[in-house]
Amino acid sequence: MVKLPAGDEQLIQIMDAALVEARRVAGPHLACRLGCTQCCHGPFPINALDQSRLRAGMDALRANDPALAGEIEGRARVWVREFAASFPGDAETGVLTDSEAERERFEELADDAPCPALDPATGRCDVYAWRPMMCRLFGPPVRQESGALGCCELCFTTADDEEIAACEMPVPHDLEEALVAQMGDRRETVVAYALIGQR
Protein backbone atom coordinates (compact mmCIF):
# COMPACT_ATOMS: atom_id res chain seq x y z
CA MET A 1 0.00 0.00 0.00
CA VAL A 2 1.17 3.53 -0.83
CA LYS A 3 1.86 5.72 2.20
CA LEU A 4 1.13 9.42 1.77
CA PRO A 5 2.80 12.15 3.83
CA ALA A 6 0.71 13.00 6.91
CA GLY A 7 0.15 16.55 5.65
CA ASP A 8 -1.60 15.44 2.46
CA GLU A 9 -4.88 14.97 4.30
CA GLN A 10 -4.65 18.55 5.57
CA LEU A 11 -3.83 19.80 2.06
CA ILE A 12 -6.89 18.06 0.62
CA GLN A 13 -9.15 19.38 3.41
CA ILE A 14 -7.94 22.92 2.74
CA MET A 15 -8.53 22.55 -0.99
CA ASP A 16 -11.97 20.96 -0.55
CA ALA A 17 -13.04 23.79 1.77
CA ALA A 18 -11.64 26.40 -0.63
CA LEU A 19 -13.60 24.89 -3.52
CA VAL A 20 -16.84 24.82 -1.52
CA GLU A 21 -16.36 28.50 -0.69
CA ALA A 22 -15.42 29.32 -4.30
CA ARG A 23 -18.63 27.69 -5.49
CA ARG A 24 -20.66 29.63 -2.93
CA VAL A 25 -19.13 32.99 -3.85
CA ALA A 26 -19.11 32.41 -7.63
CA GLY A 27 -22.68 31.13 -7.84
CA PRO A 28 -23.80 30.74 -11.46
CA HIS A 29 -20.47 32.06 -12.78
CA LEU A 30 -18.87 28.69 -12.01
CA ALA A 31 -20.00 26.34 -14.77
CA CYS A 32 -18.22 23.23 -13.43
CA ARG A 33 -20.55 20.22 -13.14
CA LEU A 34 -20.64 16.48 -13.76
CA GLY A 35 -20.24 15.84 -17.47
CA CYS A 36 -18.33 19.07 -18.18
CA THR A 37 -15.03 17.50 -19.21
CA GLN A 38 -13.08 20.15 -21.11
CA CYS A 39 -10.43 20.20 -18.38
CA CYS A 40 -10.18 16.38 -18.54
CA HIS A 41 -8.47 16.35 -21.94
CA GLY A 42 -4.75 16.64 -22.54
CA PRO A 43 -2.03 15.57 -20.08
CA PHE A 44 -0.19 17.78 -17.61
CA PRO A 45 2.82 17.19 -15.33
CA ILE A 46 2.09 15.85 -11.86
CA ASN A 47 4.49 15.79 -8.93
CA ALA A 48 5.40 12.95 -6.57
CA LEU A 49 2.61 13.88 -4.14
CA ASP A 50 -0.05 13.70 -6.85
CA GLN A 51 1.43 10.42 -8.07
CA SER A 52 1.34 8.88 -4.61
CA ARG A 53 -2.23 10.04 -4.02
CA LEU A 54 -3.36 8.50 -7.31
CA ARG A 55 -1.57 5.25 -6.49
CA ALA A 56 -3.20 5.18 -3.06
CA GLY A 57 -6.55 5.68 -4.78
CA MET A 58 -5.89 2.83 -7.17
CA ASP A 59 -4.90 0.60 -4.22
CA ALA A 60 -8.20 1.47 -2.54
CA LEU A 61 -10.17 0.73 -5.71
CA ARG A 62 -8.39 -2.59 -6.26
CA ALA A 63 -9.47 -3.59 -2.74
CA ASN A 64 -13.04 -2.23 -2.89
CA ASP A 65 -13.98 -2.18 -6.58
CA PRO A 66 -11.54 -4.32 -8.59
CA ALA A 67 -13.68 -4.13 -11.73
CA LEU A 68 -13.53 -0.34 -11.79
CA ALA A 69 -9.81 -0.39 -10.99
CA GLY A 70 -9.31 -2.75 -13.94
CA GLU A 71 -11.24 -0.43 -16.28
CA ILE A 72 -9.18 2.59 -15.23
CA GLU A 73 -5.92 0.72 -15.55
CA GLY A 74 -6.97 -0.56 -18.97
CA ARG A 75 -7.68 2.97 -20.19
CA ALA A 76 -4.33 4.14 -18.77
CA ARG A 77 -2.44 1.35 -20.55
CA VAL A 78 -4.14 2.25 -23.85
CA TRP A 79 -3.11 5.90 -23.34
CA VAL A 80 0.50 4.91 -22.64
CA ARG A 81 0.67 2.64 -25.69
CA GLU A 82 -0.83 5.32 -27.94
CA PHE A 83 1.48 8.15 -26.88
CA ALA A 84 4.69 6.38 -25.83
CA ALA A 85 6.45 7.16 -29.11
CA SER A 86 6.08 10.92 -28.62
CA PHE A 87 6.37 10.98 -24.82
CA PRO A 88 8.82 13.73 -23.72
CA GLY A 89 10.80 11.61 -21.30
CA ASP A 90 11.25 7.94 -20.45
CA ALA A 91 8.32 6.16 -22.10
CA GLU A 92 8.95 3.02 -20.03
CA THR A 93 8.81 4.63 -16.60
CA GLY A 94 6.77 7.72 -17.45
CA VAL A 95 9.30 10.12 -15.94
CA LEU A 96 9.13 13.43 -17.80
CA THR A 97 12.36 14.95 -19.06
CA ASP A 98 13.96 18.04 -17.52
CA SER A 99 14.97 19.30 -20.95
CA GLU A 100 13.21 22.57 -21.85
CA ALA A 101 13.39 21.73 -25.56
CA GLU A 102 11.72 18.37 -24.97
CA ARG A 103 9.16 19.90 -22.61
CA GLU A 104 7.97 22.16 -25.43
CA ARG A 105 6.75 19.03 -27.20
CA PHE A 106 4.66 18.27 -24.14
CA GLU A 107 2.34 21.18 -24.98
CA GLU A 108 1.13 19.28 -28.04
CA LEU A 109 1.15 15.76 -26.60
CA ALA A 110 -2.28 14.10 -26.66
CA ASP A 111 -3.97 17.48 -26.42
CA ASP A 112 -7.41 16.12 -27.31
CA ALA A 113 -7.07 12.75 -25.59
CA PRO A 114 -9.29 12.19 -22.54
CA CYS A 115 -7.67 11.48 -19.19
CA PRO A 116 -7.71 7.72 -18.50
CA ALA A 117 -9.46 8.45 -15.18
CA LEU A 118 -12.45 9.91 -17.07
CA ASP A 119 -15.40 7.56 -17.44
CA PRO A 120 -16.36 8.07 -21.10
CA ALA A 121 -19.97 7.03 -20.48
CA THR A 122 -20.76 9.35 -17.56
CA GLY A 123 -18.19 12.16 -17.78
CA ARG A 124 -17.26 11.36 -14.17
CA CYS A 125 -13.72 11.22 -12.80
CA ASP A 126 -13.28 7.70 -11.48
CA VAL A 127 -10.50 8.82 -9.10
CA TYR A 128 -12.11 12.12 -8.04
CA ALA A 129 -11.26 11.77 -4.33
CA TRP A 130 -7.58 11.23 -5.22
CA ARG A 131 -7.26 13.64 -8.15
CA PRO A 132 -4.12 15.79 -8.62
CA MET A 133 -3.87 19.38 -7.43
CA MET A 134 -4.15 20.73 -10.99
CA CYS A 135 -7.59 19.15 -11.26
CA ARG A 136 -8.59 20.73 -7.94
CA LEU A 137 -7.57 24.18 -9.21
CA PHE A 138 -9.40 24.19 -12.51
CA GLY A 139 -12.56 26.29 -12.74
CA PRO A 140 -12.48 29.05 -10.09
CA PRO A 141 -10.16 32.06 -10.46
CA VAL A 142 -6.68 31.08 -9.23
CA ARG A 143 -3.54 33.23 -9.05
CA GLN A 144 -0.92 32.11 -11.61
CA GLU A 145 2.86 32.17 -11.11
CA SER A 146 2.93 35.30 -13.27
CA GLY A 147 0.58 37.02 -10.84
CA ALA A 148 -2.32 36.97 -13.31
CA LEU A 149 -5.68 35.61 -12.26
CA GLY A 150 -6.84 32.74 -14.46
CA CYS A 151 -9.99 30.62 -14.62
CA CYS A 152 -11.66 28.14 -16.93
CA GLU A 153 -12.80 29.77 -20.17
CA LEU A 154 -16.27 28.26 -19.68
CA CYS A 155 -16.67 30.00 -16.32
CA PHE A 156 -17.19 33.69 -15.53
CA THR A 157 -18.14 34.44 -19.14
CA THR A 158 -20.42 37.33 -18.09
CA ALA A 159 -18.32 38.55 -15.13
CA ASP A 160 -16.09 41.63 -15.14
CA ASP A 161 -12.56 41.71 -13.72
CA GLU A 162 -13.76 42.92 -10.33
CA GLU A 163 -16.28 40.09 -9.99
CA ILE A 164 -13.66 37.56 -11.02
CA ALA A 165 -11.15 38.94 -8.50
CA ALA A 166 -13.77 38.75 -5.74
CA CYS A 167 -14.08 35.00 -6.39
CA GLU A 168 -10.36 34.18 -6.25
CA MET A 169 -9.72 30.78 -4.68
CA PRO A 170 -6.68 30.70 -2.36
CA VAL A 171 -4.28 27.82 -2.91
CA PRO A 172 -1.85 26.47 -0.26
CA HIS A 173 1.14 26.17 -2.62
CA ASP A 174 3.58 26.42 0.28
CA LEU A 175 2.09 23.37 2.01
CA GLU A 176 2.10 21.36 -1.22
CA GLU A 177 5.71 22.35 -1.93
CA ALA A 178 6.75 21.39 1.62
CA LEU A 179 5.14 17.96 1.25
CA VAL A 180 6.85 17.33 -2.11
CA ALA A 181 10.17 18.39 -0.58
CA GLN A 182 9.52 16.04 2.35
CA MET A 183 9.07 13.19 -0.11
CA GLY A 184 12.48 13.95 -1.63
CA ASP A 185 11.37 13.14 -5.18
CA ARG A 186 11.26 15.90 -7.80
CA ARG A 187 10.45 13.66 -10.76
CA GLU A 188 7.24 14.39 -12.64
CA THR A 189 5.01 12.17 -14.75
CA VAL A 190 1.44 12.22 -16.08
CA VAL A 191 -1.77 10.71 -14.75
CA ALA A 192 -1.76 7.66 -17.05
CA TYR A 193 1.58 6.39 -15.75
CA ALA A 194 0.60 7.04 -12.12
CA LEU A 195 -2.60 5.02 -12.57
CA ILE A 196 -0.67 1.95 -13.70
CA GLY A 197 1.99 2.36 -10.99
CA GLN A 198 4.89 3.23 -13.29
CA ARG A 199 7.91 5.41 -12.46
**Residue 73: predicted pLDDT:** 98
Tell me the HSE value of 30 on the side-chain side, using a 13 A CA sphere. Answer: 22
Residue 22 lies in a domain: yes
Residue 39 lies in a domain: yes
- Integer Cα distance of 21 and 168 in angstroms: 10
**Exposed, middle or buried by CB within 10 Å (0-12, 13-18, 19+), for 61?**
buried
In a domain, 2, yes or no: no
Q: What is the pLDDT of residues 17-75, one digit of tens each?
A: 999 999 999 999 998 888 889 899 999 999 999 999 999 999 999 999 999 999 999 99
- pLDDT tens track for 86-119: 999 999 999 999 888 777 777 778 888 999 999 9
Residue 33 lies in a domain: yes
In terms of Cα–Cα distance, which of 84, 71, 49 is closest to 182?
Answer: 49
In-domain check, residue 1: no
Give the separation between CA 49 and CA 113, rounded to whole angstroms.
24
What's the chain's average pLDDT?
Answer: 93
Does 126 reside within a domain? yes
Has residue 183 been placed in a domain?
Answer: yes
> Which pTM does this prediction carry?
0.92
Range of the domain at 102: 7-195
User: Which range among 106-110, 132-136, 159-163 shows the weakest confidence by mean pLDDT?
Assistant: 106-110
Is 161 a member of any domain? Answer: yes
Please count the structural domains in the chain. Answer: 1
